[in-house]
Amino acid sequence: PPDVEALGRASWTLLHSITAAYPTRPSPSLQAETRAFLGAFARLYPCWSCGDDFGRWMRAEGGANAPRVASRDEFGRWMCEAHNAVNGKLGKERFDCERWEERWRTGWGD
Ligand code: FAD
């Protein structure tokens, strides 16, 4: 399997970039496809223990971590929280989710 760190960086780039390009008002069918994508992503992710944990995290907390995909802002923040859950598990610093859009969509100010 590919290097878990390089795979992770590339995958977070893909996932956050998807949220950055997501519509502000997605159709119900796109929201359903997005939820299905995330479930399939967790099952197919080629670091099996990573994907298993990610899938478990999405189903945990009585549904509180379930994907929120009703708008770009909601989805971007949810992805940031998902990434922070992995950061926490790995002992990495939490990212300030107020800044997700600056990092992944509009660019840092300076
Ligand atoms: P990364 O965590 O890859 O982050 C890349 C960049 O994203 C950072 O430099 C920062 O600018 C930005 N960023 C950081 N946090 C956030 C955030 N919360 N929101 C928005 N942007 C942010 N690795 C393991 O060893 N074990 C695992 O179980 C594991 N599970 C994973 C599950 C998934 C779904 C994914 C996609 C990856 C997983 N990884 C796992 C990989 C791990 O998350 C990192 O990608 C890898 O360790 C490289 O880390 P990094 O420090 O280079 O930055």
pLDDT tens digit sequence for 32-90: 999 999 999 999 999 999 999 999 999 998 889 999 999 999 999 999 999 999 999 99
pLDDT at 61: 83
Residue 49 domain boundaries: 4-105
Instruction: Please state the domain count of the chain.
Output: 1
Reference 85, options 50, 110, 38; nearest CA is 50
pLDDT at 109: 59
Evaluate whether ipTM surpasses 0.90. yes
What's the DSSP call for residue 104?
I
Q: Which residue has a Cα nearest atom 4 of ligand 1?
A: 9
The CATH number that applies at residue 23 is: 1.20.120.310
Rounded to two decimals, what is the model's pTM? 0.96
pLDDT at 2: 67
Would residue 110 count as lying in a domain? no
Would residue 91 count as lying in a domain? yes
CB atoms within 10 A of CB 75: 22
- C-alpha 55 to ligand 1 mean position (Å): 15
Q: Looking at the CA of residue 79, tell me the nearest atom of ligand 1.
A: 19
Q: Is 18 in the pocket of ligand 1 (CB under 6 A)?
A: no
